């Protein structure tokens, strides 16, 4: 009778669907700073149907609940370190479930708020000073976190402000770059604006706006009023679509003393058009479709994953039709004159595998800013050639933070 020996049943396998495979890599990458475990992610992937958002949401939501329950039990037994770590993992699993849930589904808000509550529980079990902040913005205050390293108490602090992009969250940004900044002694401000995931949890009708310098003004007013903030050392970092936000902010705000754009998006319309392969802003009216039409489009015309992502795009830009959405994207551009207004030191980051349009904008940014500019193009050998270097966040953080340390040396 034959026998075989196996060291485990988990297999290293992703998805045939490129977008869902990227989202899995995004989750795996978060393991570097405590946002996931490789084993759990791969075990989850076995039960998810490639390209089927509902199966992804079901799997990650169930896992998040299990992780949160485990964190609560450990906290109740006084295991603060274990509970902290489990709360962070649960926070990121809820974010993964939030990502593929339709914006107008109540579950989207539920998973987002659960992600936030797990994060707050984790922050209550660590030693750094932590503040939940609401930035004034008309009648809808914007969510933010301020975290100060305990080792720097009583000192004037250099600050790194970070804003994510289209579907990142404050909590995910903490896991990607925030912990790295705190380890290096920086005060950390994580903030969000209209249309972003964190804001949508509270104000689902507050859509993206081009003028993100308004968000910068609110964030900087708050930050610079804090007595521990060193006003000569305030850096700004933008992740993904946040690259556009931060470029726009730095072009209008001399209070920003250093800029990290990852990646430098100067024309969101051109960037997004590259994803679909044509310009929907120029499509014939008879080929356009409305929000109310999406659920009736057959799967063989628009696969379920594309349908969910398209509807979320239209909802978050506040447009009724697909054509109108891409016409609205044309407002999200940074002119060469605005780029020339950026005089602070700047770092441009991009992945070699992102495609021609992102790389063209990465080069254009470097050519047009007035201040000293550095750049790093991440490669597949570094395991970081993808969008926002999700495959090697630690190396991306090393490049970013070391540049900042040297700039302010």
DSSP of 337-401: HHHHT--S-EEEEEETTS-HHHHHHHHHHHHH-SS-EEEEEE-TTTT--SGGGGGGHHHHHHHHH
Q: Is residue 1 a part of any domain in this protein?
A: no
Q: Judge whether 252 and 353 are in contact, CB under 8 Å.
A: no
Within 8 A by CB and 6+ apart from 384, the residues are 351, 378, 391, 392, 395, 396
Residue 400: Cβ within 10 Å count: 23
Q: Is residue 2 a part of any domain in this protein?
A: no
225 and 96 assigned to the same domain: no
How do beta strands 258-262 and 229-239 pair? Answer: parallel
Q: What is the pLDDT of residue 233?
A: 98
290 and 232 assigned to the same domain: no
Q: What is the pLDDT of residue 153?
A: 78
Alpha-carbon distance values, 179 to 33, 148, 247 (Å): 7, 11, 23
Q: Is residue 6 a part of any domain in this protein?
A: no
The last residue of a domain, from among 126, 159, 187: 126
Domain region containing 77: 12-126
* 174 pLDDT above the threshold of 60: yes
111 and 218 assigned to the same domain: no
The last residue of a domain, from among 103, 126, 149: 126
382 and 242 assigned to the same domain: yes
Q: What is the dihedral of CA 173, 177, 180, 185, to 10 degrees?
A: -80
Residues 313-362 have pLDDT tens digits of 999 999 999 999 999 999 999 999 999 999 999 999 999 999 999 999 99
314 and 325 assigned to the same domain: yes
How do beta strands 258-262 and 142-148 pair? Answer: unpaired
131 and 245 assigned to the same domain: yes
Helix, coil or strand: residue 261: strand
Nearest Cα to Cα of residue 206 among 214, 216, 196: 196
Q: Is residue 277 a part of any domain in this protein?
A: yes
Give the pLDDT mean for 252-273. 97
The last residue of a domain, from among 126, 158, 179: 126
Residues 117-169 have pLDDT tens digits of 999 999 999 999 999 999 999 999 999 999 999 888 778 999 999 999 999 99
* 108 pLDDT above the threshold of 60: yes
42 and 183 assigned to the same domain: no
Give me the number of domains the chain comprises.
Answer: 3
Q: Is residue 204 a part of any domain in this protein?
A: yes
Of the ranges 11-25, 73-87, 317-331, 369-383, which one carries the lowest mean pLDDT score?
Answer: 11-25
48 and 177 assigned to the same domain: no
User: Helix axis angle, 53-76 relative to 106-123, nearest 10°?
Assistant: 30
* Range 193-204 burial, b when 16+ CB lie within 10 A, else e: bbbbbbbbbbbe
Q: Is residue 5 a part of any domain in this protein?
A: no
382 and 320 assigned to the same domain: no
* 227 pLDDT above the threshold of 80: yes
User: Confidence band (pLDDT; 50, 70, 90) for 13?
Assistant: confident
* 3 pLDDT above the threshold of 70: no
CATH code: domain of residue 226 = 3.40.50.1820
pTM recorded for the entire structure:
0.95
Q: What is the pLDDT of residue 7?
A: 63
100 and 221 assigned to the same domain: no
Residues 63-92 have pLDDT tens digits of 999 999 999 999 999 999 999 999 999 999
Q: Where is 29: in which H helix or E strand?
A: helix 18-29
251 and 339 assigned to the same domain: yes
Q: Judge whether 244 and 332 are in contact, CB under 8 Å.
A: yes
Residues 148-158 have pLDDT tens digits of 998 887 789 99
240 and 133 assigned to the same domain: yes
Within 8 A by CB and 6+ apart from 172, the residues are 30, 35, 92, 95, 164
Q: Is residue 367 a part of any domain in this protein?
A: yes
CATH code: domain of residue 114 = 1.20.1440.110
């Amino acid at each position: 009778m034959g026998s075989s020996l196996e060291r485990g049943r988990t297999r290293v396998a992703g998805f045939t669907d490129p977008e869902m495979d990227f989202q899995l890599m995004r989750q795996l990458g978060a393991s570097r700073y405590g946002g996931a475990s490789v084993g759990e992610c791969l075990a989850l992937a076995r039960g998810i149907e490639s390209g089927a958002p509902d199966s992804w949401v079901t799997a990650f939501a169930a896992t998040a609940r299990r992780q949160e329950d485990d964190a609560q039990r450990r906290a109740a037994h006084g295991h603060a370190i274990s509970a902290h770590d489990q709360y962070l993992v649960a926070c990121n699993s809820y974010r993964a479930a939030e990502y593929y849930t339709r914006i107008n589904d109540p579950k989207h808000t539920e998973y987002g708020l659960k992600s936030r509550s797990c994060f707050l529980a984790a922050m209550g079990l660590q030693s750094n000073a932590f503040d939940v902040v609401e930035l004034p913005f008309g009648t809808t205050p914007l969510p933010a976190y301020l975290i100060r390293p305990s080792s720097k108490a009583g000192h004037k602090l250099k600050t790194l402000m970070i804003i994510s992009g289209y579907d990142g969250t404050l909590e995910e940004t903490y896991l990607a770059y925030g912990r790295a900044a705190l380890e290096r002694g920086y005060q950390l401000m994580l903030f969000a604006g209209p249309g972003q995931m964190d804001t949508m949890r509270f104000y689902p009708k507050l859509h993206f706006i081009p003028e993100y310098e308004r968000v910068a003004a609110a964030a900087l007013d708050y930050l610079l009023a804090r007595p521990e903030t060193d006003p000569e050392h305030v850096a700004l970092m933008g992740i993904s679509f946040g690259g556009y936000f931060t470029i726009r902010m730095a072009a209008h705000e001399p209070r920003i003393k250093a800029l990290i754009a990852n990646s430098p998006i100067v024309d969101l319309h051109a960037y997004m058009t590259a994803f679909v392969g044509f310009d929907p802003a120029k499509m014939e009216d008879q080929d356009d479709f409305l929000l109310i039409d999406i659920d009736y489009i057959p799967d063989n015309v628009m696969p379920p994953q594309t349908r969910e992502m398209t509807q979320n795009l239209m909802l978050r830009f506040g447009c009724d039709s697909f054509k109108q959405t891409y016409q609205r994207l044309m407002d999200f551009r940074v002119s060469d004159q605005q780029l020339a207004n950026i005089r602070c030191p700047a770092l441009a980051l991009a992945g070699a595998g992102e495609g021609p349009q992102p790389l063209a904008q990465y080069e254009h940014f470097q050519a047009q800013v007035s201040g000293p500019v550095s750049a790093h193009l991440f490669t597949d050998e570094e395991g970081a050639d993808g969008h926002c270097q999700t495959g090697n966040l630690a190396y991306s953080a090393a490049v970013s933070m070391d540049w900042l340390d040297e700039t302010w040396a």
